[in-house]
Every structure is written in structure tokens, then in C-alpha cells.
């Protein structure tokens, strides 16, 4: 207290002082700075001191700051609330002063607080003001200033703040620290709790008012706090004794009302902190309401409290708390309680139902609580027997449900379903009334939602939602109805419900219709009754699935599938066609849906919330389809059902999407784990299923691998009746999560053993077929490579039962080999083929040979790979040789064309690849004697041949590819195939590769090219002559000229190369050649002659031993003119004679010299200079070997017969012919024995032809004058020669000889007919001929004149 003097001094300055320190008191304290907090407290202490000295002025000053006008202006203008907060803070400080009474100013304070506590009209105050006001209330109560009369507004203010929803508010304009709604609510809850537990005498103030707050809708959020306070107060006194009776002026809520209110609020208590207080208060209410229930609730309440313990232990966990079990436990407790009351206090049940109905409006803003009330009311109505109460309860539900809230619609239907067990007809009558069209043709609203003031669009939406509620109610009604009664009402129900299916588009109605269908089917299944409308319902369910968008947006798809699963279980069974149609539709609708993806990025809370909702839909949809498949198996329990299931799952098991493969595998596993799946049921699909599972066991997705192995394990268990060992499957499943298992050949082999180990016979064939038909063609390379490893192990270890299917398997492998691009998979496929070849190399060779030519790159690489294996190469090589030897070369022979045989072309193409295989040099050299002759013969036959036609059969796409691959045969050049094979043989056998291959393919140079190639073969390799000779024998009598020619050419080249060192082998070759002397093919005869000529290098012994054969062949060749002007046979014969004459025994040839000379004459006149030259030279050689007198005489006459020809060709156009002729004359001189001719021919080279003729003619006139007429007769024939040189030579020779005749004075008979011919040549068109004719006439005249 200040002294009187101090007061008098301070009082004039008081107003100014208050304004200053009040401003400081309103400034918020920074609690992070202790000095600032201390300063703020000192300011407040200043007010406390001033209050002790000037109480009236201080109170008036503060209350002025709390006047209604100031508060309203602060709110309206959004101005600073610091003054209000500051004033309340100071008041709170003043009230809380010890030893200072505030009673005198209490009424004034409370009156000033009325605009803040309960402003009229309501004003929105800041949370800062409300919080400090709550603190003031607590201070007033603590200082015992509150009484029953003045406390009600303040307590209600605190309860009101406890009902604030837990949300945050923006920062206030004052800049004070923001108090959020949640903080304010927590503060007021603490205040109410402190008032209850710490302030003495508050029970008389709080009771029974707290009970009133429990049943007021606006204070619903504060119920748990109020309940907590009541539970505590009950420990001090009987709180229920304070309740005012029903007849009192101010009535308190009845115990039954409290029970229904607390029971509904307890439904959501599990989700709130201190929610157990509601449960404990409810227990107290039940004990007061009905003594008969006290024991039941005491025994059950402990179990319910365990929910709170479990929830507390789950807080912060990854799994969300599911309150469904909590609600079901409460409802079960309610049901049990009502059953106990039914025989004790049945009227109490009706009162409970009425209270539930009356309290429905309390939950308009709380749909979850309202939904729980519906369920509780439905449980109560189920037990109630009072039809009036039931009718009111149903009306209360129907008239209050908010159709825009799914939870309310669902709860409404659940309530109807519970009540239908006892009041089914009453419920149907109400529902039927809602579905009957009114007079205007519209359906009546069940809840009076459609007022005339609403817009048509909103009316339409509400109407659709109300229809959804009706349908859902029907569904729960039939689900809860007595089954016997349901069967009698089913037709009426369907008649009412079917119109809802017409033109339905709204999701809510579809959802309800699906649920109705499901529940109806379940109810009828329990009675084993049929449903006439089943087909129609199935149609509508499938139509719902069809109409769903590609994206997963609702649960309609899942519900429709589930409904179909239930309908399928009704008798009689639906047809398998309908099942397959439904499966196809459902799979195509469900599997493409994208799986949920969790977003782990920052700021993804909204996305993750959506993810959780989507995940629920996704899981439900997948589960629905899985259950439908299991249902199909359970209903049919036969093999046909499993076949249909697997057929529809198969495309998704092979899908490109990981999630599609995984979920299809999961569904397959669910089906296999069904009790309905037995060995007989899975028998038809076992092989294919195991094949698909083996493919997926190599899937890049670890989930797929693990699930596939789990399916395989289940199948193995079924086949062994649960006796199979699971350890290997478990170990394989463990390894399936390791990435290394995909690339490990050992792991694949181990998995293969698990699959094929339980398969036999046809199922093993189907298993393998699945692997090579589709597994190898997987678009995922890692899977295809793994499948190849599994298939290789299977073929290696289980070939015997697969042997009959060998060609088909091999064809499938070849198709896969040409299709896949992954190198690892190609290697694996080649390994599979090698595994087959280990068991049956012949079959592999046979199938591989029957492939399109030219070979595909994949097939060619395969042949090279097989050829590099030492155990396969000889067999494959021999198979190709056998084909070449036994197959006709031509498939068709026409006048103008020869079509090469397809097997021949295929074998040649294969040999090219085998020859190129690595490490085959030794093999080729060892078999060179077998290969070379055959390839030469085939090559000769292929020259000029056309390509073959493709085979006339339907090509299977899984074996050898499309027809287009065979069409490439038309483009094949057979000779090129053969030449390539021969070239590769020589190259890879380390032999000399000739350059004559192009000559072979040239029709003009064919014979020479064939000869050079054959000769090169024998010269570059050490051949087994005996084997070659024997190998060629079959071709000597071939119908194909080229084959005979090639065989004879080989023999000829063999002799020319002196390869047969054994005389017997030479003799054998000669004998073979001799047999072909008269062959119809000229080329054969030519090679035969050439071969005979090659005997000269073997020496006189061999030649003379075979002289008869040799001469016979050569003499035939000399007169062989089958080739017209080419004279190839005579040329070869002459070449051969040139080689043989020096070697052959002269005595043996004497008899044939004349024949030789006679046969040479036509060659003297040949157009070919080479032939003329060779013929003249050979004639001269023959003259040198004529030793027998008679032969010499005869040969001399032959010389005279051809003398004119020789003389004429002394001046041949070809210099070589002229030279050869002069040389022949020198060889003939010993036979003619004419010194004059010797002298004439002794002149050196370069003498003029006219001079030489004159000398020779003079010598002939001297020694052979008698033969000149014959010479002239021979000459006259050349006057008509086409060669100008020959005509000129002839007329000049004739002139010289005529001159000799004239000089000898012989009769001119010859001259008389020669002269005109000579004179005729004077008019020849060639100047040289005319000149020579003139010279001839001059010689004749000169000699004639000289003689005269």
C-alpha cells in the first residue's frame, strides 16, 4: 500500500501511467529470453500494486477494455486483439493475488465477460482470447469465486472449446503466438479436467450439467472429455443421483438416453485418445439402467479394454488400425445384452430402440457415428417385437440417411439386413413402396430428398444414390432373411429389383446391384435352390465388367466378378462355354490394370494417400478374379474346368508385363491349393502347366520365379498325394531370389529335374512341347536362355519316352533357332539339338537335311557347330554321302530343262557347312577318297540344271517356318552349290584349290574345267586309288550323261596323274574306260580317249598290255564326228596317238597304220588349223613306224593319195600348218624313195611357194610321172574350195603338173579337161586366184610351146 502522500502525488498521473504500462503489458513476452519474461512479469506486478491502492480505477480501466463495443470492433475490423488479451491477462493476475479479495468486483467482471463467453449475435474470437479466458475461468474456480448460479456460462464455454475440431488456424493479426484449434481444445480439456479433479466443491457445480452436454449434438466432440470427468466424479459421489427426474422443471437425460448416446459414441472411441473413458462411463450407465446386465458388462469390459492396449502398442507402426473388429465387438455385446433383457425387461428393449431413433439427428455432421447408430438400431430392431417401434425405427433410418455418404448408405442397408431376420415382410413392404412408380411415372423418393426447389441435375444425382440405397437394402434384406420365407418371396423381390438394371450408368447403383446379386446368390446357395433369373444376372454382371474403363477407378469390376462366382455355385451348373466366356472377359478386364506404385519422393503424401486407396481396389479386384477361378474348379471338379482355366491364364502367364505374369501365377497357385484340385483334375493340363511354370521359373522377376516354383511344388504334392519331398523345391525357391540363378546353368538343370522328374509319357511330351514351342520364343532373353537350359537337361535325361516325337521336337528347335536373336539362347538351342544328337544322330541328320536351301544363317551355324563335335561329324558326313549316292540327281527332266533334286541340294549345302567346321581337317582327309569322287560326279550333273521346286506339303510354322522360306529354292543355282561344296572340301582338306571352277559352270569350257579339276584333285592329295575306282563304278552306267562323263574324267585324270601305282588298278581303270568307248555321250568318249592316251606315261609294258583296247578306242575316236565341226573326239584321239606311238610296240601297230591314215584324211581338210596340223604331224609319225614291207607299200600308196593335200597345205593360211606339212614331207621321203624330191625339199625355208611347187612338180614328173594324172584329178576338186588360198594353190599346182605333162609329151586327155577349169578360174572373184590361174596357163603354154 502506498502512503497517502504518495497516492495524492500519483493519482493525477494515473491515467497516463495506466496507458503506458498497459501497452507494455499487451506486448507479448518472448519466452525464449528470460529478461523479457521478467520484465513482463514486473509490468503485471505494477498493475497488482496499483490495484491495491486504486482498485476502482484499475477495474474500470480493465473492464473498459473488455466492453462489447471494443471486442466487436476488434473482430469486425480484424484489428489487434492484444488489448483484450492484455486486459484478461491483467485481470487473471489480479484475481489470482493471494490475500486480496476480488468478490466486490466479481459480478462486474462476469457481466463484462458475457460478450466474450456468449456474444449475441455470435462473434468469432481469436483462439488467443479464448485461451486466456479459459485460464481466467480456472483461476476463478480455484479462488472459489464460482457458484452454481454464476458458473454455468463459464463451464459451457469450456465444454464448447472442448468440442472444437482439431484443425489449425492462420496467424492472428496481433502478431501474438498463434494458438491453434488443437492447442485451444487441449488447453480447455485440461482446464475441465483440473476443475473436476483439483478444485474443491466443483461436483455440485458440474453436476448434472455435464450429463446435459453429453446429449447435445453441438458438444459431441467433447463427449470423451466430459465422460472422463463424470467417471472421476463418480468416484466421489453417485453422479446419477444428481439427474433430475422426468417431471422436473429442468429435466436431465434419462439413463436409457445416456446409454444409447454413449454406446454410439463408443463406436469411434477406439480412434480417439482417452476413448476408454466413454467405455467406462457406458459401463456405469448400463449398471444403473439394468441390474441384469451388470455382470455381463463387467466380464466383457476387460476384453474391450484390450483393444485400447493393442491400439496403443500399434501407434507409430506401419499397419493401419482396423476399427471394424472393435465395432463388431460392441455390437455383439449389445446383441447379447438385448437378448438377456428380452426375458427380463422387454420394454427396455423398445425404449432403447426409441432412443436410438430419437437421437439420429445428433449425428447429422458425424456420418461415421451415424452409421454405427444405424447398425446398433438394426441390432435392436432385430430383437424387438413391438411392430410399432420397429416401424418407427425403420422410418427413422430411412428418413435420415444421407445418400451422398457411402458409409451411411451401407450402414442403412446393414441395419435393414439385421432387422430382416425378424421383420422381413415389413421391410419388403417398405422397400417395395419405394420402387413402385407414382402416378407421374417417377419412382417415389424413400427419404423425401427431392424438393421442388432443387435443380434437376442435383435431383438426378440424389435419385441415383437413393436407388443405390434401395438396392443395397434389398441385398442385406435377402441376406438376413429366414431362408424358408425368402424362397416364397424371391419372385417378388426379383420383379422389384430387375428394373434397376435397365440403363444403369451410375457407379453407386452398379455397386449396389453387384452386392445384391452376390448376397442373393449366397442366400439361395444355402438352400440349394435354383434362381430363374440367374442367366439375366450373369449377363448384367458381365456387362458391368465390359463397361468399366481401362483404368481402375471403382470396385464395380471386383464386385461383379465376385457376384458371378456366387451365381456360378447355384444349381444347375452353368455350361463350360459360359464359364470360358466369363473367364475371357474377366481376364482381359483385370490383368491389364496397372498395379499400385508407392511414391517415395518428397512431398508425395497426397500421392501416397491415393496409392493406398488404389491399392485396396487393386487387391480386391485381383482377389475377386482369383476366387472366381477357384470357384469354377470347386463347382466342376473335373479336368475340363482346369483346361479352360489354364487356357485363359496362358496368355497372361506369357505377358510382357511383370505384374500380369505375377498375378496370373498367383491365381494359378490359388487354384492349385484348392481342395477340389486332385490328380484326375489336373491330369490333362499337367504337361502344359509344368512347361509354363518352368518358363516362369526362369522369369526376370523374382516374384514370378518364386511363385512358379511354389505352383510346381503344389503340383508335385498333388501327384504324390502329399508324400513328395519339399526340400528341393524349397531350396529352388530360395535360390530363385538370387539374380545369379538366371544365368547359372547348374541352377537351370536342377530346376529342370524338379519338373521333368514328376512327368511321364504324354505329359512329358506336352511339357517339352511347351518349352520349345513357346519358351524358347520368349521375348525376354534371360527367360528364353533359361528355358533352353531346362530343355537341354530334359532332352539329355528323358529322351527315351520322347524318342517318337524326335522329328517334331527337332523341327520346333530349328524354328526357334531361326527366330531368336539372343546369342545365349541360340547357344542353348544348339545344346538341345546336340543333346538329341547324342541319342539319335541319324534322326538329327535326317531332319536337319530336310531344311530350305539356301540354308538359313541359323541352320548353317548349327551344322558347323555339330560338325565340330568329333562324335557327330563322321555320322553326319556319312549321312550326306549316302544321300548324294542314293538320291537321283534330278527331280524332273524335260526337253529343255533338268530340275535338280532337292535332297541333293540340301546335302550339298550341308556339306559346305560341315567342311567349314573347326577341327575337321583330319576327318576330311580320311574321307577324301569317298567325298571327292561323289562331289565331282554331282557337280558335273548340276551344271546347267535348274533349281528344284519346293516340297508339296503344308509347312508347319512350328517346325520349318513359312512357305516363303522354301520359295527361295527357286533362286538357287545348283551348280554353284556343288562347286562351293567341292571348293570347301579341297580348301579344308589342305588340298590345292584349282581355278577351274568357273570353267565347270561354263557350258563351253565345261569339259576342260572338269578335267582340270579332276586332275588337280589327284595331284594335290594322297588318295586311296582303289576306293576311288570302286566309288566311281556305279556312275559309269548312270542314265545321266554328266555323271558318266565325270566318272570317266576322274579315271582319265587318275591315269594322267599316275595315281594308280598298282598294275592291276591300272588295268581295272583301262577296262572301265574301254567299256565307255561307245558311250552315247561324246564327252564320255572324249574323256575315255584322253584317259587311254595318258597310259603312255606308264611305259611300254602297260601300253602294250592294253594295246588292243587302246587302239580300238583311239581308232573309234579318229572317225568320231558326233560333235559336228568341233571334232573333239578326233583331236583327243590324235593327241593320244602322238603320246602312244613312241611307246607302243611297232609290230603291234603295223596292222592299224593304214586304218589310222585313212581315218586321218578327213582331219586334213578340217577347218581347224590345229586339227590339220595335228593330223599332218600324226600322219608323219605313222610313216616313221611303218616297218613291214607290205605296210610300207600300202602306206606309200596312202602318201600318193594325200600328196596333193600336203602340197596344197605347204602354203596354208596358218603358218603352223605350213610348217607341220613341210616337216611331214621330210618324214615321208624315206617311203617315196625319190632323190629328186629330196633335192627339191632341201632348199632352205623362205623359198617362194611357186618356186617350191615348180621344183616338187619337176621331181614328181621325173620319178612319178605316171601318177600325175591322178594328182590332177585330185587337184581339180580344190578348184571349188571355199578358201581362196586353196583355189590359188590348186590352180598353181595344176599348172605346174600340166606343164610336166606337156613337157613329157603325154596325151593331152588330162589337159583337155583341166584347161577349161583353169581358164574358168581366170574369172574368180579373188585377185590371187586369177593371178595364179594366169600363171598356170602361162606355164602350160610355155611347156607346150617348148615341146612343140
pLDDT average, residue stretch 453-472: 69
Residues 329 and 356: their CA atoms lie apart, in Å, by 18
Query: Taking 70 as the threshold, does the pLDDT of residue 73 lie above it?
Result: no
Pick from 1120, 1124, 1250, 1264: which is nearest to 1201 by CA? 1264
Residues 759 and 756: their CA atoms lie apart, in Å, by 5
pLDDT tens for 323-337 read 788 889 999 999 999
Query: Taking 60 as the threshold, does the pLDDT of residue 748 lie above it?
Result: yes
Neighbour-count burial of 453, counting CB atoms closer than 10 A to its CB (0-12 exposed, 13-18 middle, 19+ buried)? exposed
| Least confident residue range of 65-69, 132-136, 759-763 | 65-69
Mean pLDDT, rounded, of the chain: 83
- 913 touches 998 (CB < 8 A): no
pLDDT tens for 1027-1084 read 888 888 998 888 888 888 889 888 888 888 887 778 888 888 888 888 888 888 888 8
Count CB neighbours of 1170 within 10 A.
15
Query: Taking 50 as the threshold, does the pLDDT of residue 318 lie above it?
Result: no
pLDDT average, residue stretch 953-970: 54
Residue written as cell 588349223?
Answer: 1169
Residues 432 and 473: their CA atoms lie apart, in Å, by 11
The DSSP bridge pattern shows strands 898-900 and 890-893 to be: antiparallel
* Cell representation of residue 123: 462473434
Residues 1317 and 1338: their CA atoms lie apart, in Å, by 14
pLDDT tens for 472-492 read 999 999 999 999 999 999 999
Confidence at residue 1348, expressed as pLDDT on a 0 to 100 scale: 41
Pick from 941, 939, 1011: which is nearest to 976 by CA? 939
Enumerate residues 6+ apart whose C-beta is below 8 A from 1254. Answer: 1296
Count CB neighbours of 227 within 10 A.
28
Helix (H, G, I), strand (E, B) or coil at 892: strand
State phi, psi for 892 to the nearest 5 degrees.
-145, 145
pLDDT tens for 1255-1309 read 888 888 888 888 888 888 888 888 888 889 888 888 888 888 888 876 665 555 5
- 1140 touches 1097 (CB < 8 A): no
Instruction: Indicate the pTM of the whole model.
Output: 0.70
Count CB neighbours of 291 within 10 A.
11
Neighbour-count burial of 735, counting CB atoms closer than 10 A to its CB (0-12 exposed, 13-18 middle, 19+ buried)? middle
- 969 touches 924 (CB < 8 A): no
Query: Taking 90 as the threshold, does the pLDDT of residue 1104 lie above it?
Result: no
Confidence at residue 1347, expressed as pLDDT on a 0 to 100 scale: 43
Q: Helix, strand, coil proportions of the chain in percent (round to 5)?
A: 75, 0, 25
Residue 831 half-sphere exposure, CB side, CA atoms within 13 Å? 20
User: Which residues are paired to 898 by β-bridges?
Assistant: 893
Full DSSP string of 1161-1228: HHHHT-S-HHHHHHHHHHHHHHHHH--SHHHHHHHHHHHHHHHHHHHHGGG-SSHHHHHHHHHHHHHH
Residues 976 and 854: their CA atoms lie apart, in Å, by 11
| Least confident residue range of 10-24, 163-177, 702-716, 1216-1230 | 163-177
pLDDT tens for 1116-1148 read 888 776 554 445 788 888 888 888 878 888 777
Amino acid at each position: 500500500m502506498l502512503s497517502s502522500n504518495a497516492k495524492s502525488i500519483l493519482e493525477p498521473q494515473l491515467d497516463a501511467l495506466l496507458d503506458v504500462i498497459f501497452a507494455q503489458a499487451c506486448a507479448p513476452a518472448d519466452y525464449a529470453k528470460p529478461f523479457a519474461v521478467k520484465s513482463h512479469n514486473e509490468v503485471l506486478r505494477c498493475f497488482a500494486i496499483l490495484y491495491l491502492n486504486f482498485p476502482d480505477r484499475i477495474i474500470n480501466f480493465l473492464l473498459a477494455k473488455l466492453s462489447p463495443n471494443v471486442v466487436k470492433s476488434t473482430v469486425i475490423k480484424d484489428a489487434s486483439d492484444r488489448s483484450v488479451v492484455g486486459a484478461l491477462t491483467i485481470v487473471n493476475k489480479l484475481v489470482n493475488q493471494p490475500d486480496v479479495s476480488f468478490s466486490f468486483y466479481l459480478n462486474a467482471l462476469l457481466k463484462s465477460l458475457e460478450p466474450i463467453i456468449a456474444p449475441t449475435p455470435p462473434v468469432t474470437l481469436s483462439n488467443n482470447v479464448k485461451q486466456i479466458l479459459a485460464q481466467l475461468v480456472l483461476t476463478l474456480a480455484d479462488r472459489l469465486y464460482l457458484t452454481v448460479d454464476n458458473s454455468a456460462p463459464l463451464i459451457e464455454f469450456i465444454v464448447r472449446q472442448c468440442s472444437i475440431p482439431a484443425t489449425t488456424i492462420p496467424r492472428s493479426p496481433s502478431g501474438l503466438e498463434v494458438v491453434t484449434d488443437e492447442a485451444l481444445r487441449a488447453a480447455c480439456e485440461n482446464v475441465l479436467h483440473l476443475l473436476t479433479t483439483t478444485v474443491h466443491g466443483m461436483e455440485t457445480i458440474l453436476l448434472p450439467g455435464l450429463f446435459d452436454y453429453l446429449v447435445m449434438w453441438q458438444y459431441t466432440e467433447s463427449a470423451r472429455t466430459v465422460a472422463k470427468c463424470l467417471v472421476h466424479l463418480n468416484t466421489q459421489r453417485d453422479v446419477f443421483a444428481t439427474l433430475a427426474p422426468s417431471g422436473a422443471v429442468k429435466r436431465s437425460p434419462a439413463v436409457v438416453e445416456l446409454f444409447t448416446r454413449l454406446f454410439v459414441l463408443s463406436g469411434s472411441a477406439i480412434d480417439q485418445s482417452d476413448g476408454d473413458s466413454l467405455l467406462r462411463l457406458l459401463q456405469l450407465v448400463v449398471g444403473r439402467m439394468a441390474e441384469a446386465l451388470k455382470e455381463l458388462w463387467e466380464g466383457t469390459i476387460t476384453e474391450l479394454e484390450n483393444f485400447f492396449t493393442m491400439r496403443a502398442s500399434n501407434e507409430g507402426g506401419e499397419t493401419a488400425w482396423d476399427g471394424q473388429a472393435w465395432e463388431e465387438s460392441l455390437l455383439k455385446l449389445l446383441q447379447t445384452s438385448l437378448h438377456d433383457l428380452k426375458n427380463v425387461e422387454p420394454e427396455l428393449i423398445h425404449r432403447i430402440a426409441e432412443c436410438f431413433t430419437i437421437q439420429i439427428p445428433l449425428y447429422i455432421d458425424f456420418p461415421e457415428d451415424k452409421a454405427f447408430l444405424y447398425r446398433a438400431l438394426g441390432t435392436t430392431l432385430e430383437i424387438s417385437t413391438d411392430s410399432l417401434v420397429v416401424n418407427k425405427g425403420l422410418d427413422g433410418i430411412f428418413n435420415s440417411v444421407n445418400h451422398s455418404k457411402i458409409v451411411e448408405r451401407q450402414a442403412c442397408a446393414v441395419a435393414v439386413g439385421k432387422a430382416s431376420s425378424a421383420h422381413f415382410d415389413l421391410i419388403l413392404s417398405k422397400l417395395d413402396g419405394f420402387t413402385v412408380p407414382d402416378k407421374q411415372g417417377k419412382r417415389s423418393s424413400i427419404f423425401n430428398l427431392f424438393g421442388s426447389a432443387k435443380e434437376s441435375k442435383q435431383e438426378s444425382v440424389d435419385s441415383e444414390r437413393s436407388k443405390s440405397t434401395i438396392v443395397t437394402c434389398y441385398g442385406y434384406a435377402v441376406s438376413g432373411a429366414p431362408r424358408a420365407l425368402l424362397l416364397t418371396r424371391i419372385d417378388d423381390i426379383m420383379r422389384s429389383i430387375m428394373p434397376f438394371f435397365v440403363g444403369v450408368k451410375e457407379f453407386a447403383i452398379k455397386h449396389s446391384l453387384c452386392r445384391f446379386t452376390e448376397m442373393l446368390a449366397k442366400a439361395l446357395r444355402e438352400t440349394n435352390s435354383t434362381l430363374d433369373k440367374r442367366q439375366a444376372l450373369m449377363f448384367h454382371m458381365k456387362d458391368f465388367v465390359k463397361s468399366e474403363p481401362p483404368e481402375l477407378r471403382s470396385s464395380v469390376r471386383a464386385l461383379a466378378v465376385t457376384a458371378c462366382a456366387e451365381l456360378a455355385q447355384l444349381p444347375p451348373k452353368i455350361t463350360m462355354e459360359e464359364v470360358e466366356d466369363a473367364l475371357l472377359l474377366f481376364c482381359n478386364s483385370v490383368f491389364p490394370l496397372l498395379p499400385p506404385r508407392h511414391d517415395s519422393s518428397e512431398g508425395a503424401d497426397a500421392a501416397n494417400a491415393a496409392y493406398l486407396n488404389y491399392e485396396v481396389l487393386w487387391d480386391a479386384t485381383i482377389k475377386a478374379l482369383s476366387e472366381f477361378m477357384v470357384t469354377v474348379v470347386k463347382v466342376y471338379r473335373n479336368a475340363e474346368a482346369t483346361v479352360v482355366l489354364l487356357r485363359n491364364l496362358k496368355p497372361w502367364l506369357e505377358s510382357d508385363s511383370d505384374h500380369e505374369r505375377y498375378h496370373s501365377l498367383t491365381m494359378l497357385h490359388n487354384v492349385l491349393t484348392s481342395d477340389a484340385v486332385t490328380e484326375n483334375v489336373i491330369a490333362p493340363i499337367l504337361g502344359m502347366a509344368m512347361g509354363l511354370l518352368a518358363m516362369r521359373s526362369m522369369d526376370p522377376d523374382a516374384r514370378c520365379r518364386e511363385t512358379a516354383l511354389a505352383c510346381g511344388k503344389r503340383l508335385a504334392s498333388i501327384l504324390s498325394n502329399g508324400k513328395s519331398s519339399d526340400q528341393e523345391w524349397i531350396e529352388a525357391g530360395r535360390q530363385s531370389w538370387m539374380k545369379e540363378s538366371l544365368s547359372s546353368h547348374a541352377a537351370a538343370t536342377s530346376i529342370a529335374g524338379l519338373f521333368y522328374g514328376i512327368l511321364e509319357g504324354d505329359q512329358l511330351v506336352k511339357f517339352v512341347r511347351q518349352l520349345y514351342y513357346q519358351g524358347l520364343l520368349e521375348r525376354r532373353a534371360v527367360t528364353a536362355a533359361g528355358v533352353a537350359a531346362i530343355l537341354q537337361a530334359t532332352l539329355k535325361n528323358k529322351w527315351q519316352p520322347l524318342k517318337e516325337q524326335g522329328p517334331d521336337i527337332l523341327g520346333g528347335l530349328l524354328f526357334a533357332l531361326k527366330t531368336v536373336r539372343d546369342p545365349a539362347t541360340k547357344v542353348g538351342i544348339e545344346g538341345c539339338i546336340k543333346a538329341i544328337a547324342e541319342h539319335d544322330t541319324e534322326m538329327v541328320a535326317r531332319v536337319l537335311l530336310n531344311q530350305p536351301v539356301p540354308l538359313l544363317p541359323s541352320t548353317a551355324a548349327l551344322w558347323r557347330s555339330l560338325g565340330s563335335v568329333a562324335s557327330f561329324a563322321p555320322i553326319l558326313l556319312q549321312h550326306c554321302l549316302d544321300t548324294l549316292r542314293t538320291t537321283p540327281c534330278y527331280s524332273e527332266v524335260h526337253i529343255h530343262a533338268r530340275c535338280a533334286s532337292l535332297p541333293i541340294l540340301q546335302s550339298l549345302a550341308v556339306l559346305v557347312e560341315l567342311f567349314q567346321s573347326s577341327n575337321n581337317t583330319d576327318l576330311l582327309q580320311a574321307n577324301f577318297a569317298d567325298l571327292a569322287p561323289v562331289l565331282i560326279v554331282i557337280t558335273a550333273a548340276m551344271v546347267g540344271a535348274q533349281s528344284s521346286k519346293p516340297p508339296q506339303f503344308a509347312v508347319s510354322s512350328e517346325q520349318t517356318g513359312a512357305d516363303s522360306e522354301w520359295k527361295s529354292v527357286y533362286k538357287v543355282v545348283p551348280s554353284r552349290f556343288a562347286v562351293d561344296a567341292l571348293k570347301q572340301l579341297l580348301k579344308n582338306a589342305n588340298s590345292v584349290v584349282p581355278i577351274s571352277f568357273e570353267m565347270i559352270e561354263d557350258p563351253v569350257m565345261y569339259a576342260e574345267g572338269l578335267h582340270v579339276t579332276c586332275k588337280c584333285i589327284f595331284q594335290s592329295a594322297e588318295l586311296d586309288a582303289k576306293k576311288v575306282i570302286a566309288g566311281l563304278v556305279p556312275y559309269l552306267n548312270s542314265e545321266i550323261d554328266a555323271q558318266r562323263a565325270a566318272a570317266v574324267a576322274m579315271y582319265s585324270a587318275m591315269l594322267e596323274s599316275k595315281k594308280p601305282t598298282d598294275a592291276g588298278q591300272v588295268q581295272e581303270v583301262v577296262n572301265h574306260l574301254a567299256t565307255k568307248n561307245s558311250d552315247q555321250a561324246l564327252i564320255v568318249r572324249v574323256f575315255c580317249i584322253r584317259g587311254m592316251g595318258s597310259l603312255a606315261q606308264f611305259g611300254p609294258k602297260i601300253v602294250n598290255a592294253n594295246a588292243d583296247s587302246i587302239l580300238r578306242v583311239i581308232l573309234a575316236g579318229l572317225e568320231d564326228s558326233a560333235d559336228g565341226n568341233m571334232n573333239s573326239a578326233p583331236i583327243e584321239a590324235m593327241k593320244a596317238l602322238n603320246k602312244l606311238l613312241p611307246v607302243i610296240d611297232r609290230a603291234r601297230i603295223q596292222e592299224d597304220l593304214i586304218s589310222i591314215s585313212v581315218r586321218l584324211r578327213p582331219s586334213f581338210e578340217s577347218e581347224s588349223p590345229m586339227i590339220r596340223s595335228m593330223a599332218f604331224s600324226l600322219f608323219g609319225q605313222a610313216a616313221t613306224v611303218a616297218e613291214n614291207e607290205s605296210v610300207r607299200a600300202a602306206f606309200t600308196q596312202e602318201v600318193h593319195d594325200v600328196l596333193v593335200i600336203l602340197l596344197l597345205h605347204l602354203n596354208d593360211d596358218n603358218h603352223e600348218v605350213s610348217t607341220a606339212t613341210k616337216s611331214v614331207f621330210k618324214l615321208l621321203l624315206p617311203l617315196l624313195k625319190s632323190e629328186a624330191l629330196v633335192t627339191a625339199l632341201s632348199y632352205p625355208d623362205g623359198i617362194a611357194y611357186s618356186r617350191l611347187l615348180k621344183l616338187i612338180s619337176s621331181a614328181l614328173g621325173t620319178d612319178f610321172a605316171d601318177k600325175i594324172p591322178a594328182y590332177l584329178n585330185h587337184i581339180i576338186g580344190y578348184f571349188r574350195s571355199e578358201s581362196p588360198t586353196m583355189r590359188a594353190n590348186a590352180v598353181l599346182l595344176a599348172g605346174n603338173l600340166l606343164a610336166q605333162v606337156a613337157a613329157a609329151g603325154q596325151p593331152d586327155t588330162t589337159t583337155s579337161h583341166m584347161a577349161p577349169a583353169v581358164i574358168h578360174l581366170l574369172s574368180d572373184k579373188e585377185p590371187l586366184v586369177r593371178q595364179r590361174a594366169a600363171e598356170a596357163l602361162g606355164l602350160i603354154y610355155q611347156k607346150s610351146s617348148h615341146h612343140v
